[in-house]
Chain A
Amino acid sequence: MSDFPFLSVLTVAPLVGAVVVALLPRSRPTLAKQVALGWSLLVLALSVVMWVTWQVDGQRFQFRESYPWIPTWGVNFTFAADGIALVMLMLIAVLVPLVILASWHDAESSKRSVPVYFALLLVLECTMLGVFAAADVFLFYVFFEVMLVPMYFLIGSYGGHQRQYAAVKFFLYSLVGGLFMLAAVIGLWVVGGKTFDWVALSEVDISTGAERWLFLGFFIAFAIKAPFFPFHTWLPDAGGAAPAGAAALLVGVLDKVGTFGILRYCLPLFPDAAQWFAPWALALAVIGIIYAALLAVGQNDLKRLVSYTSIAHFGFIGVGIFAFTTQAGTGAVLYMVNHGLATGLLFLVVGMLIARRGSALVSDFGGAGKLVPVLAGVLFFAGLASLALPGTAPFVSEFLVLIGTFTVNKPVAVIATLGIILAAAYVLWMVQRTTQGTLNPALTEIDGMKRDLNLREKVVVAPLIALIVLLGFYPKPVTDVINPAIQATMEDVGRTDPAPSADTVQEASR
């Protein structure tokens, strides 16, 4: 079974589905939704098979396939997944069906074609899967850029207030980053001897100066995508304007391409430059944690608030990556998964709340828990997961990042810990102002607020809640997959974990 071309089939399948859905007549929206949901479930089933087939103690890269594409330039359709890519592929496969289910009625309010909306979601899934499955730098770049197009139309055509502005800003920011990366990709191709194969490129010796410039080219693109402070300003706009389902994918998965790119490309291909730039990257990450958390506290728009919390979380992931320890690195990747689940859930729940109220403003709610207790409960749970309460999955990853960082860089770990306190502030305040306290009388007059979660919505949130709790208590299946990949990456960078002394062990456990 391991000879089955999982990655290419997995990448192409959603695209075929998208074509099918797009060709369905506009007058049959329900059929389009059903086909899209069925197709994404098929992709999920396939990726579960892939997960089972994965050999935990096997090679670093598995499921490798390669077909020639543009031989003149040495470009191949090369797919291969390491543990990091594998968990991200799983995350996408899990999230997309839930997002489709959660977006069941989203497209109807926009007067635009419903089948096209779901086709765009499937195209997006194709590009997201492709970007994580690619093991050829050119192919990666192609998916990285093409990914913008469906997202642009999802935000621009189906988004809410200020959607045009947000869509253009999103596109331009990403395109600018992508063009920096293009320059670096061409540069890498030239110094690497006209090949795009990741394995070959990772063995090339690059002069120090060139290595730093190339690192910067890639890093800027990924820092914009992730986004890290100070390249983050597009995310609140895009996240605030996107329909809730698309926003969940945007923040939950699409942005992880940035952190994934740093782990897969910046660190192994330019190890010396990565070490040289690490203090700066750590500084940006730490600033991001504190700054975005402070901004999140002050937000009145629910979706923008969640977007800012994500920027803070990406700061944690950045710290975990650039601490260069196995613990922190594993924590960072685990964080990428958990954040996808927790923030995805938060976005979807917030979306359900907004759809009922017809407004995204925190100040338009108040005491909503009395009207929709189950929904409020789920929001509370999603919030707690987002602030990394012990027992939820994000706690494990955040803890790993912090202890992994503490062993090598105490100041960064200490400052980052402050972010946890701020996280409690923004989450609890948001929950309090929307669902707790005295009931806002205006809410009782809105019919939507009288309906609690229906069956469809319960089906959407239940798997996410289950996964968050499960991974909170038993993250081993995921960490087992991630660990070897992170160890290999750290070996590429040439960093080994500091030997545990009695001292650090005590401090870490404190």
Chain B
Amino acid sequence: MTELELPPIDYAAIAPILIMLGAAVVGVLVEAFVPRRLRHPVQLPLALLAVLAALTMVVVNADKRVITIGVIAVDGPTLFLQGAILALSAVALLLLGERVVERGGAFVAQAAVTADSPEDRQQAENAGGAGEVYPLTTFAIGGMLIFVSANDLLTMFIALEVFSLPLYLLCALARRRRLLSQEAAMKYFLLGAYASAFFLFGLALIYGFTAGLGDRAAGVDFATVNAAVANSTASPVLLFAGMALVAIGLLFKAAAAPFHVWTPDVYQGAPTPLTGFMAACTKVAAFGALLRVFHVAFEGARWDFTPVLGAVAVLTMLVGALFAVTQTDIKRLLAYSSIANAGYLLVGVLAPGSEGLSGTMFYLVAYGFTVLAAFAVVTLVRDADGEATHLSRWAGLGRRSPVYASVFTFVLLAFAGIPMTSGFTSKFAVFGPALDGGQVWLVIAGVLTSMVLAFPYLRVVVLMWLSEPGDSTPTVAVPGGLTSAALVIGVLATLVLGVAPSPLLDLASSAADFVR
């Protein structure tokens, strides 16, 4: 009997993933063995350290271009996106770990307590938040790191589950308005399960399609799929159906229309720091996967998928912009804005060549920091019952707390794409290559929806500055050090990427090449 030969593993290349997953396991052990009052002080530094260590490994790996074990591709886009996920996660972790704004943090102490029962009211008042938030988040980050580096569809599917399942759970852990939070988690879970099933089914069809390759074995790694798209003798129906189903699974995570319906409810119901984490990091992960799947695996079918994905992009922009106009809740408004931004990102995905790729990656980073800053402000505007998210409550906020109103105004101007903010440079980064690639109609749709989107943003600015404060205008809580840090990082990144985007743009350009 010959010995089973293990494929060589480049441990350095996958070190960021190993660090995050290892830290998650350690986090679970901490939760089991460390006394309750020490858990938070241990867990948060542990998670942050893990993120920083992983980020360091990404930087160390900067010049690596390998496919290890056949399933993990470590190349420019992977490293850039992993770096982006980790950097954004670090900021999000600061928000998740905040315990000063609300006693015990934004998370419930015991998720099993019946909502609105006397015990629940008691825990909402003073119990410390659940510590399992940190290992769950760390698992999710680890999953995202795999997701953007996966080099075959099956690994990608597993990564999808690894980062989705913790997110479903985390959504249900809000300290306040728990029914809303649980409903959001349920919705997210059910629809997410459907999306995963679609993805898996598509994967199976693609596998069948690759069986038509005469000279090599069937498989779902991207090189095989790429070869099959060019030469397979199998029915193209398998390819198109498989491609569509895989795309549905990914577009669901990216919150693109018509697979966006979960977004507003989940964004609203989830604990706000987590909403920020999802809006920033999940977006990076989902679009990282979309980029790799469409630029590497299905590159040969570009002419076939471009019109369909283009239609999805236009629909996404339209839905996001038009529904944002009618929203009365700040979190839902930001959710629709996030949907519209998914549309702009899709424009970047469809822009051919490395310029579209680097533009999209730049957009992901820029948007992530801005949206984190936005949700950081949302966590601060609160009254006795928790966050005051209804827009009418924000009236006159500029008079009550000019600093935070200014910060939020700046963030909204960035969303609206006013120059000197990253919102403008990132729009340019995706629209330029798209127009260069001949996607005129996508750019026009992008510009037109930007006009519509400006209105809801401006309405919030008007509410904050030009309306008189009413009796119900909440105060802005004094943020703890963590939220302040997150806010400062988010706003600074928005400003710096708007005024001097060159370093990051150059980095994105030099990273914009997939290994195949």
Contacts and interface: CB of A to CB of B under 8 A. Distances in A.
Contact of B502 (A72, A148, A163): A72
B466 A175 contact: no
Given A187-B435, A190-B432, A175 B451 contact: yes
Contacts, number: 80
B29 interface: no
A236 B137 CA distance: 54
A171 B413 CA distance: 12
Given A70-B505, A153-B465, A163-B466, A190 B436 contact: yes
A172 B458 contact: yes
A371 interface: no
Given A72-B506, A72-B509, A175-B454, A156 B462 contact: yes
B346 to A, nearest CB: 17
B505 A72 contact: yes
Nearest to B506: A72
B444 interface: yes
A361 interface: no
B419 A73 contact: no
A73 B432 contact: yes
Interface in B416-467: 416-420, 424-425, 427-428, 431-432, 435-436, 443-444, 447-448, 450-451, 454-455, 458-459, 462, 465-467
A206 interface: no
A432 interface: no
Given A163-B466, A168-B462, A186 B505 contact: no
A183 B465 contact: no
Contact of A145 (B419, B432, B435, B465): B419
Interface string A117-156: 0000000000000000000000001100110110001001
Main secondary structure of the interface of A (DSSP, over half): helix
B450 A145 contact: no
Given A146-B419, A157-B466, A186-B443, A179 B458 contact: no
Contacts of B356: none
A26 to B, nearest CB: 11
Contacts of B458: 168, 171-172
A168 B458 CA distance: 7
A148 B454 CA distance: 13
B418 A149 contact: yes
A182 B444 CA distance: 10
A176 interface: yes
A186 B502 contact: no
Contacts of A172: 451, 454-455, 458
Contact of A141 (B419, B444, B447): B419
A167 B462 CA distance: 9
A502 to B, nearest CB: 52
Contacts of A142: 419-420, 424
Given A153-B465, A168-B462, A175-B416, A71 B447 contact: no
A271 B279 CA distance: 46
B501 interface: yes
B502 A179 contact: no
Contacts of A71: 502
A400 to B, nearest CB: 36
Contact of A190 (B424, B435, B506): B435
Contacts of A186: 428, 431-432, 435, 443
B502 A70 contact: yes
Interface string A166-195: 011001100110011011001101100000
Contacts of A182: 417, 427-428, 431, 447
A189 B433 CA distance: 10
A164 interface: yes
A153 to B, nearest CB: 7
Contacts of A171: 454, 458
Contact of A167 (B424, B443, B466, B509): B466
Interface string A9-43: 00000000000000000000000000000000000
A148 B413 CA distance: 11
Contacts of A168: 458-459, 462
Contacts of B432: 73, 186, 189-190
B396 to A, nearest CB: 12
Contacts of A72: 502, 505-506, 509
Contacts of B435: 186-187, 190
Interface residues of A, number: 30
A72 B427 CA distance: 15
Nearest to A139: B419
Interface string B382-425: 00000000000000000000000000000001001111100011
Nearest to A145: B419
A66 to B, nearest CB: 16
Contacts of A180: 447
Contacts of B418: 145-146, 148-149
Contacts of A157: 465-466
Interface in B305-349: none
A164 B468 CA distance: 11
Contacts of B416: 175
Contacts of B467: 164
Contacts of B451: 172, 175-176, 179
Kindly name the residue among B425, B431, B500 whose own CB sees the greatest number of chain A CB atoms within 10 A: B431
Interface string A67-107: 00111110000000000000000000000000000000000
Nearest to A185: B428
A69 B466 CA distance: 35
B131 to A, nearest CB: 44
Contacts of B436: 190
A179 B447 contact: yes
A119 to B, nearest CB: 13
Nearest to B463: A164
A142 B428 CA distance: 12
Contacts of B502: 69-72
Kindly name the residue among A72, A149, A168 whose own CB sees the greatest number of chain B CB atoms within 10 A: A72
Contacts of B501: 70
Nearest to B498: A142
Kindly name the residue among A149, A167, A186 whose own CB sees the greatest number of chain B CB atoms within 10 A: A186
Contacts of B454: 171-172, 175-176, 179
A15 to B, nearest CB: 12
Interface in A416-470: none
B466 A164 contact: yes
A183 B442 CA distance: 11
A193 to B, nearest CB: 11
A148 B458 CA distance: 12
Contacts of B413: 149
A72 B512 CA distance: 14
A269 B424 CA distance: 24
Nearest to B505: A72
B407 to A, nearest CB: 15
Contacts of A73: 428, 432, 505
A7 to B, nearest CB: 19
A71 B503 CA distance: 10
A156 B436 CA distance: 39
Contact of B462 (A141, A145, A164): A164
A24 B105 CA distance: 37
Interface of B: 413, 416-420, 424-425, 427-428, 431-432, 435-436, 443-444, 447-448, 450-451, 454-455, 458-459, 462, 465-467, 500-502, 505-506, 509
26 contacts: A70-B505, A73-B432, A145-B418, A145-B419, A149-B418, A156-B462, A156-B466, A164-B466, A171-B454, A172-B454, A172-B458, A175-B416, A176-B451, A176-B454, A179-B417, A179-B450, A180-B447, A182-B417, A182-B428, A183-B431, A186-B428, A186-B435, A186-B443, A190-B432, A190-B435, A190-B436
Q: Which 10 A-B pairs give the minimum distances between C-beta atoms?
A: A142-B419, A164-B466, A183-B447, A72-B505, A156-B466, A145-B419, A176-B451, A190-B436, A179-B447, A175-B454
Given A142-B419, A142-B424, A175-B454, 4 more contacts: A69-B500, A72-B509, A145-B418, A179-B451
